[in-house]
Amino acid sequence: MAEENRSLALVVGDTTYSVWTEMLKCIVPDGRTHRLRVVVAGMLEYARDRADEHAEAQVAGSVANRLIESVSNPDDARKLLLRSVEQLFRDAGVPFKRKTRRGEQYSIAADAIEEYVDWELMPWE
């Protein structure tokens, strides 16, 4: 699949995607990862909801199909969605890789996908 076909804009539309990239430009540079991951996971939840209505939802490998498949295959969600989420950060012009205070590298994009997978998980209920 071509890189441009991984864009979440194909599912949510150019206007919404543009708002998302503007939001990320503003909040990522000084944002805390534990907060950013929830915002981006919310974007994925919205995109998955739109994917259910998308004409390409049944086309294997399409962004809409990957969003839907990620729900039934949470173990594969990172693989299915990582490039699309990384593309969102690239389109916003902000980094998705960070280092902890101990120098360990991690990815806000991968963390957001984990939050998305656990979106409905509420162990206190």
Q: What is the DSSP string of 74-94?
A: GGGHHHHHHHHHHHHHHHHT-
Q: What is the mean pLDDT of residues 77-85?
A: 87
H or E stretch at 111:
helix 108-117
Name the DSSP class of 57.
Answer: G
pTM for the full predicted model:
0.88
b/e burial code for range 1-30 (CB count within 10 A of at least 16 → b): eeeeebbbbbbbeeebbeebbeebeeebee
The pLDDT value recorded for residue 18 is 97
Please check the confidence at residue 32 and state whether its pLDDT lies above 80. Answer: yes
- Residue-wise pLDDT for 40-69, tens only, equals 999 999 999 999 887 676 777 788 888 888
Percent of the chain with pLDDT over 70: 90
What span, in angstroms and rounded, lies between the C-alpha atoms of 60 and 115?
A: 24
